[in-house]
Amino acid sequence: MTATRQVRRKLRKALKRGAFRTADLFAGCGGFSLGFQRAGFRNVLAIEADEDAFTSHVLNFSQLSQPDAYRAFNDIRDVPPARAVKHLCSARVRTQDAIDILIGGPPCQAFSLLGRAALWGLARRKHAHAEDPRANLYEYFLEYVRALRPIAFVMENVREIGKFNDGNLAEDIASISARLGYNTRYALLNAAYYGVPQYRERMFIIGIHDGLDLIPGFPPATHQCVPPRGYASSRVGMGKALPIRAPHESYVDFLPFGGRLSRKRFAVTPTALEALADLPRLTYHLNGAGQRDASDMQGYNRRVTNFGTLMRSWPDFASGYKTDGHVVRLTPRDYRLFRQMKPGDMYPQAAQIAEANYLRRLHATESRLHKRLDSRSRGVLRAEMVPPYDVDKYPNKYRKMSGDEPAHTVPAHLGKDCYSHIHFDSAQARTISVREAARLQSFPDGFILCGGMNARFTQIGNAVPPLLAYAVARHLLRQLRSVLA
């Protein structure tokens, strides 16, 4: 049987079955899977090395599959494709018939700007990121494509893969995919254009088996926003430099309508305030209370927006009257500082405010004691009030969110600190909670995250926003259905 006949037969079977069987490689906790699941795809395989993320994926998705139809594995380097899909195979189902769609986001730490900086620091030389073994994990994804021959695949990663190690890794992947028999295109999508209350750019690489004679497309925008400076998609299509390096034959310049959409035809992207409006106000940290359990349930407040309703009623993940994750980091040194910062303020402003607070406290203390403090006492007092970070090296270390616009990118670094997302409500004087981070990523409130607070923050920051994944999945489904229409 020719490759064209085989893939068309596979497509007909999937449409007759009513769901495309999907494998999620480097699955994380399941943001990609969640979006595809909502679009009507059925997740039957997940591979994820992180134990907490692995547990989250299994807990949420194993219950949505028929008995014995879902399997999960840890390290993709130890799981050859034939073994991964063995539970789906039989005398009538071969390895190449087991999976219809491959999705996944190979680890991005070696590609991202934050990851590169960390690796350069460790190795003490530039381009050390190219030697990070995580930079080659995409090759395992392509090996699964070669072995399983899916109808289509979707790979997601940070925008920096378009400028990786003085090359264009996205174009390399497209070229390799072409040799494997796939028409492949890639584009930079901003999650805010699809209803996610967050400016988040990610590169999506979509390949469709060339036996279907389709050129991959990307979902049209559903929401209106104007991303701020610093987001490449706000410049693409406006005569500025592309966010990738040549060659880029397979790149799709995807800026919806020049970045400005008609309010009559398009909804406006939810703001951070709209995203979090019905979640409880948290002030327990201001009273000296200890750390809460991230699994504790707490009720909503009365104000709910359309976005909040969506997060509370997501199919298969409705939350009822309560949800968990209402836990924040305890940083007593910073509470006064958070209260005084204005929306949009970053670390230079925060450092200036902290320094002024310190000088006032110092003057008041010395006035009360009628003497000048020695240098050691001054140092102790300053450490209690002023963050220790260098303003020139870390200008983006702190950022207070603005309630009237989408949040900036929610990073995995939240697992270490949350200073990049200080809550816009000064009365709460804190960084965002686990549940708030999940909301900004468009995770429904009924989705369960496993592990402690840090592990949950990391899973959220590493994930594909489910609403963005849903838009990609729905558009791909329309294209595949059109083949046999």
Share of the chain above pLDDT 70, in %: 90
Asked, for residue 399, whether it belongs to a domain, the answer is no
Asked, for residue 452, whether it belongs to a domain, the answer is no
Measured between alpha carbons, how far is 158 from 176 in angstroms, rounded to an integer? Answer: 19
Closest among 206, 219, 128, 222 to 170, alpha carbons compared: 206
Domain that holds residue 87: 3-265+464-483
Closest among 228, 252, 229, 257 to 242, alpha carbons compared: 252
Q: Which residues pair with 239 in a beta bridge?
A: none
Q: What is the mean pLDDT of residues 246-267?
A: 72
257: left (phi over 0), alpha (psi -120 to 50) or beta: left
Q: Which segment of 203-207, 223-227, 282-286, 477-481 scores lowest on mean pLDDT?
A: 223-227
Number of domains in the chain: 1
**Exposed/middle/buried for residue 411 (C-beta within 10 Å: 0-12, 13-18, 19+):** buried
Asked, for residue 204, whether it belongs to a domain, the answer is yes
Measured between alpha carbons, how far is 339 from 327 in angstroms, rounded to an integer? Answer: 18
Amino acid 234: pLDDT: 61
The structure tokens 């750019």 sit at 201
For CA atoms 187, 110, 226, 469, give the dihedral sign.
positive
Q: Are strands 267-268 and 201-209 parallel, antiparallel or unpaired?
A: unpaired
pLDDT tens digits, one per residue of 392-417: 999 999 999 999 999 999 999 999 99
Cα–Cα–Cα angle for 8, 10, 12, nearest 5°? 70
Asked, for residue 315, whether it belongs to a domain, the answer is no
Asked, for residue 279, whether it belongs to a domain, the answer is no
* Strand positions, DSSP E, 127-285: 152-157, 182-190, 201-209, 223-224, 251-252, 267-268
pTM: 0.92
The structure tokens 């509470």 sit at 335
**Mean pLDDT (the chain, rounded):** 90
Measured between alpha carbons, how far is 265 from 255 in angstroms, rounded to an integer? Answer: 17
Asked, for residue 252, whether it belongs to a domain, the answer is yes
Amino acid 215: pLDDT: 96
CATH code of 64's domain: 3.40.50.150
SS3 291: coil
pLDDT tens digits, one per residue of 195-248: 999 999 999 999 999 999 999 999 999 998 888 888 876 655 554 567 788 888
Measured between alpha carbons, how far is 53 from 38 in angstroms, rounded to an integer? Answer: 20
DSSP string, 299-330: E--S---HHHHHHHS-TT---TTEE-------
The percent of the chain in helix, strand and coil, each rounded to the nearest 5, is 40, 15, 45
For CA atoms 202, 235, 420, 200, give the dihedral sign.
negative
Residue 110: pLDDT above 60?
no
For residue 418, indicate whether it is catalytic.
Answer: no
Q: What is the mean pLDDT of residues 453-469?
A: 97
Asked, for residue 261, whether it belongs to a domain, the answer is yes
Measured between alpha carbons, how far is 405 from 321 in angstroms, rounded to an integer? Answer: 27
Among candidate residues 108, 225, 418, 450, the one labeled active-site is 108
pLDDT interval class at 135 (50, 70, 90): low
Other C-beta atoms within 10 Å of 55: how many? 19
For the record, the structure tokens of 84 come out as: 């991964």
Q: Which helix (H) or strand (E) is 45 found in, with range? A: strand 42-47
Question: Are 129 and 115 a contacting pair, CB within 8 Å?
Answer: yes
pLDDT tens digits, one per residue of 295-331: 899 999 988 999 999 999 999 999 989 999 999 999 9
Asked, for residue 30, whether it belongs to a domain, the answer is yes
* Strand positions, DSSP E, 242-388: 251-252, 267-268, 298-299, 322-323
